[in-house]
Amino acid sequence: MSIKALPLRRAAPPAYDAAMTENCTPVDLSQSLAADVADHRLELIFDGSERLTRLLDLINGAARSIDIIMYIFEGDAAGVRILDALLVAARRGVRVRAVLDSFGSGDTPDALFAPLRAAGGSVTFFSRRWRSTYLIRNHQKLILIDEEIAVTGGFNIAEDYLSAPRSDCWFDIGLVVKGPTVARAAEWFAEIHFYTVNDDGKLLILRRLIREWPVDGGPVSWLVGGPTQRLSPWARAVRTDLENARQLDMAMAYFSPGQGMLRRLGRVARRGRARFVMAGKSDNPATIGASRLLYGYLLRKTAEVWEYRPCRLHMKLIVIDDIVYIGSANFDVRSLFVNIEVMVRIADADFAAKMRYFLASQKPDCEIITPTSHKARGNWLTRIRWTLAWFVVGVVDYTVSRKLNFGLGDPDPEV
């Protein structure tokens, strides 16, 4: 691909209005949130069971093609329902293609997909063999219907992500996009599908795909991330947007950026205001420890830090001034520099205000972290564990680090 990346267009940073985000009425998470941005229809689905219903409706309504990239595809109740719908679609002549990560979906037997393949569908596993690229995971979540509707977010195809809210569920976002830029997402699927089928494991080719992905700078744009020698399009865009930002709101499942990105976040907090909604519960205690290692720095820079408590926070949502990022990428070293990721960048002041309000409305369900409470929680032994967790989370795949809790199995061992 020879198209050069274009500069991102952005408006001047808005003035901070605290009244816009304080004392918010709780958002009804059983209802979707819709917005129109530059000839695009955007819909956010927070309820897992509603996400499953919507996915099934879209698959059942597909006329020409269904394309899927997924990190985890489980053979549980939700996964089987999706697979059955894909099988019916394939039998009625719809082209069905799926690219699944071989590590994230490693517990799912390949035989599960035999009927779909027999019906003409294609299921290919990313990074199938041990080689230099094996620790690079395909962490993307993207579903395309007829190359006209795209669905992305943090959720995987598994019961935990596609079920009604409960204490052990994942609190996540599904973003449905209709509009002209879905064609760009379809182009990206074609690129990664061809690579996985024909060039799987060839690092130089993968790097070139990501490095040369063009950034159009439009109001709704698709950004990708991965193991480039320099910053990937997704990491480069978010760094640029943070440069002069005055407002930052972030809800992040896994938060363990490097020092450069962390300092940029601190500068935003000093210039204006920064709020971080972090996971207070997870099936991966190491990621909580890695995040908590950085709380002290953020608090010293006057940032707000909240921990979401009702269930496991898994969303990846960033609001920088009038720009919103939603997709598969966490704000950690792996998602910024290693894993293959896809993010939607939405530049629209009204949509940013809606998402900022949504995050502010989660305050009653969060523990507000203060310098005093953070210091009381982190004795010397706990801080050593947090430090070990930060290093491991940055290097090892999430499904591996999930098993290495460093004694952090209890989210609050000192409280």
Closest CA to 284 of 188, 401, 145: 401
Model-wide pTM > 0.75:
yes
Q: Is the pLDDT of residue 180 over 70?
A: yes
Task: Render pLDDT for 217-230 as a digit per residue (tens, 0 to 9).
Answer: 899 999 999 988 77
Q: Quick: pLDDT tens for 277-326.
A: 999 988 778 889 999 999 999 999 999 999 999 999 999 999 999 999 99
Which residues have CB under 8 Å from 328's CB, separation 6+?
A: 71, 139, 140, 141, 142, 152, 153, 154, 316, 335, 341, 342, 343
Residue-wise pLDDT tens digits, 69-90 = 999 999 999 999 999 999 999 9
**Residue 14 pLDDT exceeds 60:** no
Q: Average pLDDT of 205-209?
A: 93
Tokens of 253: 């499942």
Q: What is the pLDDT of residue 400?
A: 52
Residue 156's nearest CA partner among 44, 68, 251, 50 is 68
Domains annotated on the chain, with CATH? 31-401 (3.30.870.10)
Percent of the chain with pLDDT over 70: 86
- Is the pLDDT at 367 greater than 60? The verdict is yes
CA 396/CA 392 separation, integer angstroms: 6
Let me know if 45 is exposed, middle or buried by CB neighbors in 10 A (0-12, 13-18, 19+).
buried
- Give residue-wise pLDDT tens across range 134-163: 678 999 999 999 999 999 999 999 999 998
pLDDT at 8 over 60: no
- Across the strands, what pairs with 126? 101
Q: What is the pLDDT of residue 131?
A: 66
Residue range 115-131, pLDDT digits in tens: 999 999 999 999 877 66
The C-alpha atoms of residue 164 and residue 157 are separated, in whole angstroms, by: 14
Amino acid occupying residue 215: V
Which tokens sit at 369?
Answer: 């972290």
Residue whose entry in the numeric block shows the structure tokens 């795949």: 397
Contact 175, 68 (CB under 8 A): no
pLDDT of 298: 98
User: What average pLDDT does range 320-342 have in this prediction?
Assistant: 94
**pLDDT value, residue 411:** 46
| Mean pLDDT score of the chain | 88
- What percentage of the chain reaches a pLDDT higher than 90? 71
Q: Round to whole Å and give the CA distance between 120 and 115.
A: 9
Does residue 408 surpass a pLDDT of 60? no
Q: Which of 271, 254, 273 is nearest to 392 (CA)?
A: 254
Kindly report, residue by residue over 41-80, the tens digit of the pLDDT: 999 999 999 999 999 999 999 999 999 999 999 999 999 9
pLDDT band, residue 23 (cuts 50/70/90): low
Q: Indicate if the pLDDT at residue 248 is higher than 90.
A: yes
Q: For the segment 97-119, what is each residue's pLDDT rounded down to a tens digit?
A: 999 999 899 999 999 999 999 99
Residue 401, pLDDT above cutoff 50? no
Q: Which of 17-26, 124-133, 146-155, 203-212 has the lowest mean pLDDT?
A: 17-26
pLDDT at residue 306, rounded to an integer: 98
Encoded tokens for 175: 């973003």
